[in-house]
Structure 1
């Protein structure tokens, strides 16, 4: 989070942000309060003018949610992506009900060690909820070395002495595979993310397991790769579809809902109807999955449950000095809508 970002969110100039955060005249009280509120919500504290405790609660009741941004999955605009928005909102509800306050901080993955140390130096937290979606074990260990009261969300590395709470990716994708097979699909395709991470790798494992148990395989030409972070028609995908228009799979599993919605848009532009010509199933159950036409059949990730378990564990570590580390997998649900149909 930079001054430029705060200025955009507040719809004011950078100079107005500087004046407000430095306690100088030149901006109205209403504007100053608005800017400070945005800075508080995003964990931004300018150095060295503002004292942290001027606007933020004491460290004993402060929890920090940290997202490490890059150009892959967790971009600088990650908070606009439905999955992360829903997760953060659920975390905030759980924290508030337990008498704690939440600061949301976004830092660059390139300067992880320096940035996490800076955040904790400027405003010490009682514990960190770390969005681990795009992080390596080494990077997670860096955060753990700075703040040992740590729970990592949205990924899991079993060999680390760290708490993890994550959706059961293998089970969810296995559910998706079994569902398509029960509908009679045998010629099934797979749409994978161009950017790889733990969640996607586990989903691929679970989906292929469901197929293997039923003596099915995915033909090499039925693997497709698209971007996981935008909802738009995908040109390379359309080209590959057109190249095999006479031998299309009857169903496609997409590693995330964003990808599934992009696939539906792309197929529509080629006059290929979902689900009459091809069935589509996604993963995540984001809000947009209900407003696309047709509504998307998907795997529901229980973001509220993940948030509850993560916050409860972190608070137990803080309040009760609970040192036992845990790895929690939260099972998923199949949400049946209108993007899949049985094979005749």
Structure 2
């Protein structure tokens, strides 16, 4: 049977109140009494009821990360950065991945965390309104937001995609495809908008047939690229802007297996500069996004809202085009 605080008090020969004060470091307890309480707690393998302490204090010292997925190098880097920074600032991290909207709401408003970091498309406009009304401190990574207790840390996806597309055009590429991510994803939509605007600026047509749904996944990007090649063998693009590096790698695999050379026939650019990008053959030209910094800034702003009553801010991080071997002059 699990030992209780009453059992510790009995073993130490003190009151329950004295045990509570001793275990919580209250200075009014004599040193010898505290040692006696700690010895009894250790002997009984007593673990304090943290939930009870949280209910009493109104604070959990936990942050929540709500996300569509935890797979792929972007999320590995992001979650590691968030968790490390949270720990350094005295907070734990709960990661919530669920398709049930009611479960998301229960965790958002159930006082199980002190604040939330959001990369979750199922958290919609009405949910954001409720977050604001309940004054739940929140940082969004998947859309620009700012309010009293709401902020965001996003990438400059529109400008990055515009610049990457312009770079492909400068290499003599004229039939450029976009390998899109999720249809409701902010970064994918902004990258598509930047891609289309760059084509228009340089007098090239926007061909919707060249927008291929890769869903930010290597297997999907690979299969969709193979399907495109089989359906349009005489109409292969000479440039590809992929929604992320993993999609770019899937597309390059499909091209090479179809006997199409990268970068001579098709130049390819990705996004994020995940670790594998520099080692894949040919090494991937990509936009390096500061993923780790995004996690650090998200936690710091969130903890500031929790602990210091700071106001929410919207910050946009710029990336950097890193040119490698998957692109060349036509």
TM-score calculated relative to the size of structure 2: 0.75
Cα root mean square deviation, aligned: 3.0
- Once the two structures are overlaid, the 10-residue window that deviates more, 253-262 or 242-251, is 242-251
Match of 2:108 in 1: 116
- Structure 2 partner of 1:327: 314
The answer (yes or no) to whether the contact 1:163–1:326 under 8 Å persists in 2 is: yes
Which range moved further: 272-281 or 208-217? 208-217
Equivalent position SS for 2:264: coil
The answer to whether the 8 Å contact 2:214/2:220 transfers is no
Q: Which residue of 1 aligns with 2:62?
A: 63
For residue 201 of structure 1, the aligned residue among 189, 192, 211 is 189
Distance in 2 separating the partners of 1:160 and 1:229: 35
The SS at the match of 2:65 is: strand
> Is the aligned partner of 1:342 residue 2:320?
no
Q: Distance in 1 between matches of 2:239 and 2:53?
A: 53
Pick from 137, 158, 162 the counterpart of residue 174 of structure 1. Answer: 162
1:318 is matched with 306
Asked if structure 2 preserves the Cα contact closer than 8 Å seen for 1:133 and 1:197, the reply is yes
Unmatched 5+ stretches in structure 2: 4-47
Alpha-carbon separation, structure 1, partners of 2:234 and 2:59:
63
1:137–1:157: structure 2 CA closer, same or farther, 3 Å change rule?
farther
Listed as ranges, the gaps of 5+ residues in structure 1 are 1-21, 25-49, 69-73
Q: What does the per-residue CA deviation read over 1:291-338, in whole Å, with 9 as the maximum and x for residues that have no partner?
A: 32212111111112212222221122122212x332111111112121
Q: How far does residue 51 in structure 1 lie from its aligned partner after superposition? A: 4.6
| Structure 2 equivalent of residue 156 of structure 1 | 144
Which residue among 288, 296, 300 is the counterpart of 1:300?
Answer: 288
* 8 Å Cα contact 1:187/1:218 also seen in 2: no
CA shift, 1:86, in A, is 0.6
52 and 273 in structure 1: CA distance in 2 versus 1, 3 angstrom threshold: farther
2:261 is the alignment partner of 1:262? no
Partner of 2:94: 103
Q: How far apart are residue 134 of structure 1 and its match?
A: 5.4
Is the radius of gyration larger for structure 1 or structure 2? 2
C-alpha distance in 1 between matches for 2:325 and 2:191: 22
User: In structure 1, the residue corresponding to 2:327 is in which secondary structure?
Assistant: coil
SS in structure 1 opposite 2:199?
helix
- Contact 2:255-2:261 at 8 Å conserved across structures: yes
**d(CA) in 2 for partners of 1:144, 1:84:** 26
Aligned residues: 284
The DSSP-based 3-state class of the residue aligned with 1:218 is coil
For residues 91 and 67 of structure 1, the distance between their equivalents in structure 2, rounded to whole angstroms, comes to 12
Partners of 1:283 and 1:55 in 2: CA distance: 44
TM-aligned CA deviation for residue 253 of structure 1: 0.8
1:119-158 alignment, distance < 5 Å: 120=111, 123=112, 125-132=113-120, 135-146=123-134, 148-157=136-145
For 1:91, which of 73, 82, 85 is the aligned residue?
Answer: 82
| TM-score with structure 1 setting the length | 0.72
